[in-house]
Structure 1
Amino acid sequence: MTTTRPVALVTGATSGIGKETASALAAAGFEVIGTGRKTSQLTPPDGVTYLDLDVASDDSATTAVAEVVDRFGRIDVLVNNAGIGSAGAVEENSVAQAQRIFNINVLGVMRMTKAVLPHMRSQGGGRVINISSVLGIAPQPFMALYVASKHAIEGYSESLDHEVREHGVRVLLVQPAYTKTSFDTNAAQPDTPLPLYAERRRDFDAMIEQAMKDGDDPAVVAKTIVTAATDKKPKLRYTAGPLASRVSAARRLVPAGTFDKQIRKTSHLPG
């Protein structure tokens, strides 16, 4: 089966930002395939088809992309949304835990991107939209593994965009701030906790919990992703929501020392 509508593949589309994005793209006229690790018992939003995918698996990534191309004839937009958060001080996260987080947040993006690029090049165009974060450009104590993964996605995406632009393909970044999702409750907790950091970690947990409650609605991020998917002249980076815009501007314009002090204040750290 082929379709006359543009085709969008959205990873991590069974909840939160991914689910809202799948719905928003369908409303914008896309044929949408949303993925999750186990989707058989789930009801997709209107206009969305669910497909099983584990972005941590090479075989799963290539199989899912091949299935979409076989079924719909093309992939015009890939939204790399699937990811996992992290909590704890760096000393409290084992290397094995870091590998798991990077396997999803970074290598998962790379697997999916490498799988779709040949199809996008052969059809003469396409967009890969990678969901980064304002923490891809700013630090956040007690989330270092997640922050490092998003910094990696920023560098990877910008570099790749230069490589594929001449083939009609763009690689774009969307940077949300805190969003009302289950991100914090699903984050990987420290697997080697140390009493030394217990108090600071409790402060951090309380801060994140409140930030998520006060965060943007996922629909705000979804709207930005649709803009990135449809802009006639796409930008490399799109901030999603007012907080993300403020953090991005501050990172560029505020003196380093002032920015550093604000990070410590927000994170309830001394000095």
Structure 2
Amino acid sequence: MATSKHARQSVALVTGASSGIGRAAARALFDAGFSVVGTSRDATRVAPLDGVTFLDLDVTRDESVSALVAEVIERFGRIDVLVNNAGVGMAGAAEESSISQAKAVFETNVFGTIRMTNAVLPHMRAEGAGRVINISSVVGLIPAPYMAVYASTKHAVEGYSESVDHEVREHGVRVLLVEPGYTSTAFEANAAWSASPLPAYAGQRDVARDVITEAMAKADDPTVVAKVIVAAATDANPRLRYPAGPLAGRVSVLRRLVPWRAFDKQIRKINRLAG
């Protein structure tokens, strides 16, 4: 049974909380007054974080997701906010990517988000309140040459989140999007590159690596994104989309206002694309 303290205090569940944006979000949500559960594939290897309970979770496995959500509700009595942050990266030309490699990225970034959302929605609907915050990306809003598979997962998360948000509002639940730009974490450095590199893309692939490296040198600190996640979790009248950081804010505005041809030209210029 949950204690009376747990029954009163709002609970936030953050996936992929061992490092980067997830860890910063867990800390910020605790500072904002939440009881926080953070997850990792192996919680025993996660450095302790004051005020955060770490539990094991593999978002690619149905049974792991079901067990984790049941444990959180049993121990804390409620789940008020779910932050779907767990994700994996991938770069390289789309043609170079194997189907199995692409499926693995979708399994975590898209189906992991869906699994977690489906698992918490019955509880949130029964309570008549709750927020699901899905961590998208600036590349969920724009084309991302040499990151097509990863970008497509974030485009999918965008469409899924906006659609489900309409479905669950009548039950007091919101599904919201936080859209970071480049963020100073190990995420990009650990991103897989396409399994079967082709000579046709070799030169431009090297340029793409340089573009990513230069962008990372100016990347936002994870605390920038964490602050936006807290806003999404606590705003009295939440917005559907929360760009996080200056780059994401600019891209969000430009995507809506700039004519397609001009935007297309700018994408090619920024990515130093030939032809």
Range of TM-score over shorter length? over 0.9
Distance 2:211 2:128 in 1: 46
Deviations 1:83-112 (A, max 9, x none): 011111011001111110000000000000
Amino acid at match of 1:210: E
Tell me the TM-score normalized by structure 1: 0.98
- Are residue 63 (structure 1) and residue 67 (structure 2) matched? yes
- Are residue 20 (structure 1) and residue 24 (structure 2) matched? yes
What's the RMSD between the two structures over aligned residues? 0.8
Task: Choose 39-48 or 3-12, whichever is displaced more.
Answer: 39-48
Distance 1:37 1:199 in 2: 36
> 2:40·2:46 contact (CA, 8 Å) conserved in 1?
no
1:199 Cα deviation after fit: 1.2
Q: How does 1:150-229 map to 2 (within 5 A)?
A: 150-229=154-233
Q: How does 1:90-101 map to 2 (within 5 A)?
A: 90-101=94-105
Number of residue-to-residue matches in the alignment: 271
- Select the residue among 234, 243, 248 that pairs with 1:239: 243
1:176 Cα deviation after fit: 0.5
Distance 2:58 2:254 in 1: 36
Unaligned runs of 5+ in 2: none
Amino acid at match of 1:201: R
1:42 Cα deviation after fit: 2.1
> 1:14·1:44 contact (CA, 8 Å) conserved in 2?
no
Q: How does 1:36-75 map to 2 (within 5 A)?
A: 36-75=40-79
Secondary structure of 1:239 counterpart: strand
Amino acid at match of 1:223: K
- Are residue 29 (structure 1) and residue 3 (structure 2) matched? no
1:251 Cα deviation after fit: 0.4
Identity of aligned residues (%): 62
Unaligned runs of 5+ in 1: none
1:16 Cα deviation after fit: 0.3
> 2:182·2:220 contact (CA, 8 Å) conserved in 1?
yes
Task: Choose 42-51 or 60-69, whichever is displaced more.
Answer: 42-51
Amino acid at match of 1:42: V
> 1:90·1:145 contact (CA, 8 Å) conserved in 2?
yes
Deviations 1:156-185 (A, max 9, x none): 000000110000000000000011011222
1:41 Cα deviation after fit: 2.7
Distance 2:213 2:81 in 1: 32
- Are residue 146 (structure 1) and residue 150 (structure 2) matched? yes
Secondary structure of 1:269 counterpart: coil
1:134 Cα deviation after fit: 1.2
1:120 Cα deviation after fit: 0.5
Q: How does 1:117-156 map to 2 (within 5 A)?
A: 117-156=121-160
- Select the residue among 80, 87, 92 that pairs with 1:88: 92
Secondary structure of 2:242 counterpart: strand
Distance 1:201 1:180 in 2: 22
Q: How does 1:3-14 map to 2 (within 5 A)?
A: 3=6, 4-14=8-18
